[in-house]
Amino acid sequence: MAASTPRPETIARLMRKLADRMDDQGDKVVRRAPILAARGWPTSTNGAEGGRSSDATSSTERSALNPGPFDGVDERLRNQLRVAFWVSMEIHASFDLIMAHASDDDPVPAGTGPCQVVGCDHVCNPRKNPNDRLRSGYCRRHYNRWIRLGRPDRGLFERFTEAEDVA
């Protein structure tokens, strides 16, 4: 996933918040949006800008030429809800497609894990080094030793190899 794409958990958290908000306020917002769109944005709210202007246009003309944030808010909301619906459906379809056809393989590479020899602290990680992987349950050093000794009983080898290394 590209670095600029938010993680699915982040998107899900935001969608849950939006879903809660839509449950609580959705109907009110849908009813109020056309009222705000029809009302428009006042050119002056408290007279601070002055009722008169040196501009040759009237306040009605200025309002029409400089749309405010509520102009078309009802249509924008309808479009956003329509897009949200279709995007949600498309994401569901993509999840279904990927999960139906993707492999259920374990994402941990084969050969990853701790050596089975008692006392060996080595953990093989082929992601970091492709040559550092478990072979028959042993790290490279113990696997080579097990082969050199003629593949003795694994239980005895795993218990007594480290003791021999220390001695």
Tell me whether residue 106 is in a domain: no
**Does residue 40 contact residue 71 with C-beta atoms inside 8 Å?**
yes
Do residues 83 and 20 share a domain? yes
Do residues 30 and 80 share a domain? yes
What is the per-residue pLDDT for 42? Answer: 62
Range of the domain at 133: 113-166
What is the per-residue pLDDT for 167? Answer: 39
Tell me whether residue 50 is in a domain: no
Q: Which long-range contacts (CB under 8 A, 24 or more apart) does 40-45 make?
A: 40/67, 40/68, 40/70, 40/71, 41/67, 41/68, 41/69, 41/70, 41/71, 42/68
What is the per-residue pLDDT for 51? Answer: 54
State the Cα–Cα distance between residues 161 and 152, nearest whole angstrom. Answer: 11
Do residues 120 and 145 share a domain? yes
Name the pTM for this structure.
0.51
Task: Please provide the distance, in angstroms rounded to a whole number, between the alpha carbons at the two ends of the chain.
Answer: 51
Do residues 30 and 70 share a domain? yes
What is the per-residue pLDDT for 63? Answer: 63
Do residues 126 and 77 share a domain? no
- pLDDT (tens digit per residue) in 16-69: 999 999 999 999 999 999 998 888 766 555 555 555 556 676 766 666 676 678
Mean pLDDT, the chain, integer:
83
- pLDDT (tens digit per residue) in 86-97: 999 999 999 999
Do residues 144 and 81 share a domain? no
- Count of domains forming the chain: 2
